[in-house]
Structure 1
């Protein structure tokens, strides 16, 4: 269990869950759509991304000196495991990229692995940049399923249709980016005293804890606005059969976001901000599941 926490197994499970939600709950439900990857190849893609993400979490703990102190794994073993995870992840990515006739796609895996290493060794304590990198990496992971399953299948005849499907991936990736960025800031606010004592400069330290909480509140209006826009554009104005999808979105995605915004005004302690960080993690999980709910609603009722 300690080793599993070292690679943040909860985050890895969420990554695999999001991949499967978009593949099985969205893409495979589109009538007549042929995907580039078969079932085994898709599972290999998931495993590859999980390995690279696990390696990123691992190197972060190694650099912090947590691997041996908190998890009982020596630094040497940690580096060996890190190397193995990345070799497997990038190797599978290279294989799949060549399999679908897009060898250049392998560069995506290399860039992600390199960025996670560079983040852990150089950028982790660089104000603003560190938060943006983590949020960007999370958002890019959402696009990988669309890139590998849709792009190789583009023809002049289906280009518009596939572009529409990939546009949905981009919308979710942007939403994920904003929520992840807000969550990273909330974690900075939570750790403000610890970071200050360690001589680490973060946004809450630079502008003040309370002021940063207010800025975060304003930032949280962006995903709320996005949800209301999409609900009004694609759900409310459609057939009433999509009412269930609308209710899901309002209750399980917008609801926790509103709770988060209210909580920002009253949060004071580390425990309060830790709870708010968890709320945003729940928002991400329900947002990924929403594509399944909406697709199911459309396919079966609309």
Structure 2
């Protein structure tokens, strides 16, 4: 197990290093001058040059890169050009909303997908199977921002059960906070649940053809117990793979949904930083999202080994 984890950790570190280089180079070669944008188009060249020097924009690229990496390792992410606040404080404040939103959306995605996928597989080629997969296909085709607007129109404008947007913070209470995130989480989850449901159905159908399933049925095990105890566990490997990728997509998808619901999360921070060309904030937020993707993939690899020890043994 130690060899398996060591290999995965080395891969994680190498991937993060490569991602940091790509993120820095892509943002560094973008046209435009942050100092010019902050001071306005009519600012004097001397003032622009002085601000660029203060922000370190006149330093060589490799110097700025190593300074940035050193800050990442020590927790010093610099100061936002637009907000005038430490970037780390801005990110930590916004993550208090974005991470619970992504986790709630992932919970909805998992529950809906497993229920629909297993139910459809249990009724293979019947009307219920066709109907559920038809709904899943419609869910895949729906853009999450359009579904978010539809939820606002129905549940906020028409029924007035939920607020149309905004977030009062967790200080207002856990239930009010979860209520504010419910519609955004559903908007994020509907597409991912539809995709995962189809994959779950295919994986369950494949496992149901195995000999051990027929043996369990011959022993008198009920259909429900066979599906949820024997079949689903062995079908989880492709499902967990997609769930890992989907959680990363949910984190990235918050950029759009948070702007629809006016939520002060990480996605809205990135959107505002791009508009202000606040490269310090953009660079660190994009790197954070990339790191989350890599870490999630690492967790998925570890879960592989827990679900199917043969995968772990093959790496030893």
Q: TM-score, normalised by structure 1?
A: 0.35
When Rg is computed on C-alpha atoms for both structures, the one with the higher figure is: 2
Structure of greater relative contact order (alpha carbons < 8 Å, 6+ residues apart): 2
Q: TM-score, normalised by structure 2?
A: 0.33
